[in-house]
Structures are given as structure tokens and as C-alpha cells.
Amino acid sequence: MDTNIYRNNPARDNLHFNALEKLSKAGLLCLHVPYVVLREFQTQQRDIYSKDLVKAISGLTGLSRKLLDEDILERLVSAKAELEGESENILSNAEDQITNWCDRIGAKLHPLCLDQASLALEAYFQGKPPLKSVKNREDIPDSFIVQSIIKLHDVHNPIHVVAGDNKVREAFADEKTINTYESLSDFIEIDFIQDELKEVDLIDSICTLVAAIQKFENESSEIQYFLSNHIGESIVWKTFSDPSIPDDNHEATINSYGEAEDIELDFSEAGYYGNGQFGIPFKLRIVVLADYYIFKSDFYCMDPEREHVPSVSDHNDHYFEVQEEFELYVSGLVSITINRDNIDMDELSESIVEDSFKIDEVSDIELC
């Protein structure tokens, strides 16, 4: 898998990663992690954690300058000193999370070798795939990743590559024994992986179970009720984009939400992820309040005939902060867990694990 796949879910805790982990631990697949992918992800995580550390230390510094009781100020100074002393341990731990996970599931880490480095740089000089042009420095990491895959393919045949980057996938477009997928969900949901998951969990009647879940929902609406009550907390503080939003990046951040409406569940695309877990795609409509920033001159130049002129507050010399109401479509995946040791097709409610409903993923937020 390329770095994008790990970056999309750094905690590696959704249904797709859980399924990958289950298959790997069962010895039904082996995850290979090239050096460049590992280090690219580790350094990205280190940078994210480092920014939070800087903010935390800065906040403690600011508080320690306030008019507070002496004992409180002493504790703040002590907390700041302790956090500064632990900074490197925190950053190292952030990097170690991925390698610890790899060890736990039996993944194989592959160091960079001279042959890969030579071929990757030769591709850089000649503009060979995945590079689109000669000496394009931005594509150097992808070139190393491609060479790692080629080396793995010499030993493992066929091989499956999950890459969010089009250039990496396109490099193997003509290879019949290198299968490429844009997302981990695309890989997990292919037929033979679903079959392996069924074998791991000894469940042979997935279609029958999906039909039973659909029947249960038609009679009770419990999944829709759960989505209605919990979708808000899953989308609050998430950012969505649309060309109509007059922010510099055409983005707005959700800060509050109303009632979910028009909830749809797509049982035809339901998938099984092992351990009795089923994922069901959903789509719903919801009204939210969201914040964005608008350049002051852009605000003053707004069309006075505009249907709704948003309320603004002063942010700084150049920008207003805007809070505006938006109607959104939200898509994602809701999961439900069945007790594999007590499956009753006629009374499925008795087989559903209590409190197992979960909004596993919000995949898309767009304006209605």
C-alpha cells in the first residue's frame, strides 16, 4: 500500500484495516511495506504531532504569564518542563506506532537496496513511469515505491497494490500479475478477499444474512434511527468544499448541525468485514452551520441580489469570519455486528451485538 492509504486512516482502525489485519494474522495474506512508504508516513506523523506539541507548549507558556495563584503557576511551569522533556519520546512514539502495528500483524518491512535506488533515479533522469517528465523531483518517492513493487513482484506473483496515487497505478497498467486498487476498501471488497474473510469467520451465508439485516431494518428502522442520532457528532468540525463557497480555498468547517433527513441504506453494496461485522453504505441529507473566512473586499463586492447574504464578524484586518447555513448530502458506511455463535435468521434482533452500531466512515460531504 502507498502512503496515501495509511494517511487516510492513521489509526488503522476502520473496517477495511480490521479486515486486512484479520487476514494477515490468519496467514491468508502478507502485507509488504517498502522503506519509502514507511518513512514517508512516519515523518508525516512526526510533523503532525510536532505541531500539536508546539501549540501545547505555547499554550502553557501563555497561561504561565497570566495572573494566577502561585501554586497554579508552579504547576503550569512544571507541566511545561515535563512536556518539553517528553517531546522527543512523544515524537518517537508517533513514528513507532506503524512499525509496532506491522510487527503485530506479521507485515514485512523492506529496506531500500542499491538496485532499487539506482533504477528509481534512472527513471527520474529518463522520465520513465511513474514519472511523467524528465527530472520531476516531486515524483521521486513514487519512483522508489514503483521499484520496490517491481522487486517484490520478482518473488511474489501475483501481487496486489493499493495506491491512491494514479501515477503508481498507471505504472502497472499493462501488468497482468500486478493488480492495482485505488483504495483499501476496493481491495477488501473484491470477491476472493470477501471469500477469505468468510472462511476466517466460518460464515457461509453472507447474502442470507444481509437479507436478514435488511428485513430487520425494514421492520424496526433501528439503523436509520442510529444514524439520525449520531451522524452529527461524526461530521462536526469536518471540512467540505464547493466552488460556491467564497473562501480562498472554497472550504467551510461544520460547527453545528440539525436533524438528518432522507436517510438511505444501500444493502445491495453491503460488505462483510470479518468478526461478524457488516458495513452498509448510507446517504442522508442534513442542514448544518459552518464557518469560513472571506476576504473583506470580496464580501463588499457580493451581489446584493444574492438570495442569502451571510452574517460576518471581524477576524483580522483582511478577513471576515462567516457563519452560514448549508444543506448537505453526507455519504459513508455504517457497521453492525452479528453474534456469529447465535444467528437467528427469523429474529435477527436477538443476534445483533448490543451497542455494536457504528458510523465507521464518512466518505463524502457535498452541497445539496
pLDDT of residue 316: 83
Q: Residue 366's closest CA among 249, 311, 288, 266?
A: 288
pLDDT tens for each residue of 40-82: 999 999 999 999 999 999 999 999 999 899 999 999 999 999 9
Residue type for position 329:
Y
Alpha helix (H) residue ranges in 127-205: 140-155, 166-170, 184-188, 191-201
* Beta-sheet pairing, 159-162 with 178-181: parallel
Confidence of residue 121 (pLDDT cuts 50, 70, 90): low
- Distance, CA of 120 to CA of 144 (rounded, Å): 5
What residues contact residue 250 under an 8 Å CB cut-off, 6+ apart?
241, 242, 243, 244
Q: Are 165 and 129 in contact (CB under 8 A)?
A: no
Counting residues of the chain whose pLDDT is more than 70, the rounded percentage is: 90
pLDDT of residue 202: 62
Q: What share of the chain is helix, strand, coil (3-state, %, to 5)?
A: 50, 25, 30
- Beta bridge partners, 364, equal 331
Q: How far is CA 47 from CA 70, 158, 311, 345, in A?
A: 34, 35, 36, 50
pLDDT at 184 over 60: yes
| Residue 125 exposed, middle or buried by CB count within 10 Å (0-12, 13-18, 19+) | exposed
- Residue 175: count other Cβ atoms within 10 Å of its Cβ: 15
Residue type for position 304:
P
pTM across the whole model: 0.73
Q: Are 365 and 328 in contact (CB under 8 A)?
A: yes
- Distance, CA of 334 to CA of 226 (rounded, Å): 9
* Least confident residue range of 234-243, 274-283, 303-312, 330-339: 303-312
Confidence of residue 144 (pLDDT cuts 50, 70, 90): confident
pLDDT at 217 over 70: yes
pLDDT tens for each residue of 30-40: 999 998 899 89
For residue 137, give the 3-state DSSP assignment. helix
Q: Are 217 and 263 in contact (CB under 8 A)?
A: no
Q: Are 239 and 253 in contact (CB under 8 A)?
A: yes
- pLDDT, greater one: 92 or 298: 92
Per-position DSSP letters for 217-265, written without gaps between them: HHHH-HHHHHHHHHHHHHHTT-EEE-TTS-STTSEEEEEEEEEEEEEEE
pLDDT of residue 203: 65
Three cell numbers at 344? 437467528
pLDDT tens for each residue of 272-296: 988 889 999 999 999 999 999 998 8
pLDDT of residue 129: 65
Confidence of residue 132 (pLDDT cuts 50, 70, 90): low
pLDDT of residue 234: 96
pLDDT of residue 332: 97
pLDDT of residue 150: 87
- Distance, CA of 224 to CA of 260 (rounded, Å): 9
Stretch 317-335: mean pLDDT = 93
